[in-house]
Structure 1
């Protein structure tokens, strides 16, 4: 069925009309920065959907309220707020507790993993890690209970 409205992106239309427990999305970032920004905005607008964007060099997702992610020590771990956000962390070189994040203020790019990462987040926060760690991210976002194991 054609969707005639032009007030949303094709990515937004997909997320609105395709019902799934988990979305693994490829091809929504890249050459056009405006399209990439629109895709990131869709992540922030859909906290009840588990969506993972695969970009050329990294994977990007909206942090759930609670996250445990096992990554190698030294891995780059970036946080980018899509609105006012705060939280607490373990396993990061620079802890985030007590920080007020906003897109036009403090962001958390280029942090570094020092152990198992545990995040508790309030507000829309994107997480970005190198694409080499896609399997670890998949395990964290789609735990065995959700897979029926």
Structure 2
């Protein structure tokens, strides 16, 4: 059975308007707190908090981004002293990426904002609706990953 989806809804998703609408309040909150990082940079910091001292290749896998994109993100974070590249002890050609103390402070500040925003976004949504929503999103992502 085919689902009936409004054409405008599909266009909003494909054009990125939905993502923009989600990101806008985050960026406004970041600006209020004088935090100058993108959501992609935050994703790198979040990965490093969970699994520090990883290679750039590992970050590519964790973030599902290509190597040039991850390189740019790390460069920008390094310029802000939020991450550091350290030579691998076993293979000097490899660099391991680690979060700095300053990076950890920024991550914690951003994480607090994200947590507040998510709580606000989830207001008046019961757990059952959330479970269905997550399940539908997971299925859609899987279906889209199968498109050649």
Q: What's the TM-score bracket when you normalise by the shorter of the two chains?
A: under 0.3
Higher strand share: 1
Structure (1/2) with the larger helix percentage: 2
**Structure whose alpha-carbon radius of gyration is higher:** 2
Question: What TM-score do you get using the length of structure 2 for normalisation?
Answer: 0.25
Which is bigger in relative contact order (C-alpha 8 A, separation at least 6)? Answer: 1
Q: How high is the TM-score relative to the length of structure 1?
A: 0.25
